Chain A
């Protein structure tokens, strides 16, 4: 019984780390640009397919394909930001919150349906990272899950170091805290917006490529994880990267335990996402600023 509990917690941690990766990207975009990227789930999906085609068409080894996927979604994110979000900063459009919500939602529609048209509606499965698996007593965790979790953890650590130790990361943080003050000390906000959106997209794409061997690829694969990411972003406090990492792992564990111990196994899977929503409701009721919330401002 305890070993089942441990296994569920470990599985929860693995998915939680992937969630954290998606949510961290969303958080960077939100904190720097002050917009919610409703196309985030589609970028995650595109990352998954980019990894798949990098392996099958270019013969890239699976682990390296994750980096290819990140590069591809970074470029896609930068193009979208330059074409559709740049008008936000030059007062070319009115009602900025509304504009950003609508165009990012449209990005989601565009990419998901383009994926159905070009990749087909059927599931694809890229090769495993490794055939090995870890046995601890009675428990088995597949190697793919461990590799995905390890890579996700590495990326998250790298992200934290990047945000804290590099001048580019510090500049991003400065813009997220106060645009005007950042401009005064000579930070080019426009470049930071592009960097932040590209970085956020790359993190989503990397998560998609990491999860692909575990859960297979489909055009709608991003729908549920992106909703989980939105829940995590609120849970972790809108705009806090550490908050989104801890929130992600928390949600992963809550979900795994919820599914593992729900009395009716047929419904448990269907309701696994409802546990996240429950967590969201509690957060909004008890502590709307989230675990690590800081005051945030709206798009000016």
Chain B
């Protein structure tokens, strides 16, 4: 009973704290947190693909760019309402994801990671080269999702998007799809022998996670108001990988917390310049080597053990 209630309570507390947080934040940190929602959606969806499907996409930022630019261009050129544009961005990211998935995921082996790396670089070059459509490196100015200058509506909208993404991806993992994914990651031959169409499920998950990256890109574009090819760069991809690894690639809420933590830390240490990314590379290696389930998951487990040890004995609780 108590064990079952605990996650629900901690979720409610976390949501209440995050909802009340803007009350104490200045404009700068409000902006940082509102931006971190973008990374949270990216890290969670990347973790779903890498941690649960065992597939690596280095084009996650490219899908964010596809979502962002589709939505942005529709709003600028065709004056489409922004929410509709974001939906179109999600759809186009899913479509491209399905095509790449179909091309690479019918085969076993590291084809997806190799292809997506090339795809991401080429998409960046195309955005720069086709400047008459995308405004190239100058950046495309896109209208905001909300009127006014306040970041507050974006903070809440982004927060709701993160929670919705977590809920949808969590539900996916609890469904039959999640079961099949686990089966094919543990033993692909056995899964195939049990009549699971393994390539279908791999392509499905890749399409879904690409769509979420598109959603993140749409939110980011219409929040920041400018899109540039910089969002597709490899350091940005590295940031998302670091977030997912620190949070735990087999734990979706952990990846979200990892994203917020890493992004806030990297902003706080802004004066460190490029050294932050050297450190990030080291953090990824050390986390993988010594705490493969992620630092956030590790910290949560420690915390749970500590409270459990204290809770049953009233003596230590009062003393």
State the A residues within 8 Å of B (CB): 36, 38, 84, 87, 93-95, 97-99, 101-103, 105-114, 116-117, 223-224, 227, 230-231, 233-234, 238, 266-267, 270-271, 273-274, 276-277, 280-281, 284-285, 288, 296, 298
Q: Quote the shortest CB–CB distance from B281 to chain A (angstroms).
A: 3
Max count, chain A CB within 10 A of own CB: residue among B126, B273, B288: B288
Give complex CA distance A276, B278 in Å: 30
Given the interface contacts A84-B289, A98-B249, A103-B285, does A109 sit within 8 Å of B277 by beta carbon?
yes
B115 at the interface (CB under 8 A from A): yes
The size of the chain B interface, using a CB distance under 8 A, is 44
* Interface: B73 (CB within 8 A): no
B140 contact set on A, CB distance < 8 A = none
In the docked arrangement, what's the CA distance between A270 and B119, Å? 14
Partner of A230, one of B114, B249, B288, B292: B114
Q: Contacts A98-B54, A109-B277 given: A284-B289 contact, CB under 8 Å? A: no
B166 at interface, CB cutoff 8 A: no
Chain A residues closer than 8 Å to B280, beta-carbon distance: 109, 113
Q: List 13 A-B contacts (CB under 8 A).
A: A38-B117, A103-B285, A105-B238, A105-B241, A105-B284, A107-B285, A109-B278, A110-B278, A110-B285, A113-B280, A117-B274, A234-B111, A238-B109
Q: Is the CB of B107 within 8 A of A109?
A: no
- Fill in one digit per residue for B202-232: 1 if any A CB lies within 8 Å of its CB, else 0: 0000000000000000000000000000000
Q: Smallest distance from the beta carbon of B101 to chain A beta carbons, Å?
A: 12
In whole angstroms, what is the CA distance A273 to B244 when docked? 29
Q: Which of B111, B121, B274, B281 contacts A106 (CB 8 A)?
A: B281
Contacting pair A109 B235 (CB below 8 A) = yes
A110 to chain B: closest residue by CB: B281
Q: Report B275-291 residues with CB < 8 Å from chain A CB.
A: 275, 277-278, 280-282, 284-285, 288-289
Given A97-B54, A103-B288, A107-B285, A227 contacting B118 (CB threshold 8 A): yes
Give Cα distance in the complex from A286 to B238, angstroms.
32
B114, B273, B288: the one within 8 Å of A36 (CB): B114
Q: How far apart sit A223 and B122, CA to CA, in the bound complex (Å)? A: 11
A99 to B290, CA, bound (A): 11
Q: Are A101 and B284 in contact (CB under 8 A)?
A: no
In residues 237-269 of chain B, which contact A (Cβ within 8 Å)? 238, 241-242, 245, 249
Question: Which chain B residues lie closer than 8 Å to A280 at the CB level?
Answer: 115, 118
- Taking CB atoms, residues of chain A closer than 8 Å to B74 are none
A113, B278: Cβ atoms closer than 8 Å = yes
User: Which residues of chain B from 101 to 157 have a CB within 8 Å of any chain A CB?
Assistant: 103-104, 107-111, 113-115, 117-119, 121-122, 125-126, 128-129
Q: What is the minimal beta-carbon distance from A97 to any residue of chain B, in angstroms?
A: 7
> Could you tell me the dominant secondary structure of chain A's interface residues?
helix
Specify which chain B residues have a CB less than 8 angstroms from the CB of A224 in the assembled complex.
Answer: 121
How many angstroms between the C-alpha atoms of A87 and B278 in the bound complex? 22
Task: Please judge, given known A-B contacts A102-B284, A117-B278, A284-B104, whether A274 and B292 are in contact too, CB under 8 Å.
Answer: no
Whether A84 and B285, one on each chain, are in contact in the complex, defined by CB atoms closer than 8 angstroms, is yes
With the chains together, A271 CA to B118 CA distance in Å? Answer: 12
Q: Please tell me if B50 contacts chain A, counting CB pairs below 8 Å.
A: yes
Q: In the complex, A6→B51 CA distance in Å?
A: 49
Contacts A36-B110, A98-B54; A93 near B129 (Cβ below 8 A)? no
In the complex, A272→B50 CA distance in Å? Answer: 30
B54 contacts A95, C-beta separation under 8 Å: yes
A93 with B235: CB separation less than 8 A? no
Closest to A101 in B: B56
The 7 closest A-B pairs by CB, nearest first: A110-B281, A106-B284, A109-B281, A270-B129, A113-B277, A230-B114, A109-B238
4 new A-B contacts, CB < 8 A, other than A93-B288, A106-B241, A288-B107, are A106-B285, A110-B282, A117-B274, A274-B122
B191 at the interface (CB under 8 A from A): no
Closest to A220 in B: B234
**Most chain B beta-carbon neighbours within 10 Å: one of A97, A106, A266, A288:** A106
- Shortest distance in angstroms between A40's beta carbon and chain B's nearest beta carbon? 11
**Which among B56, B115, B281, B289 has the greatest number of chain A C-beta atoms within 10 A?**
B281
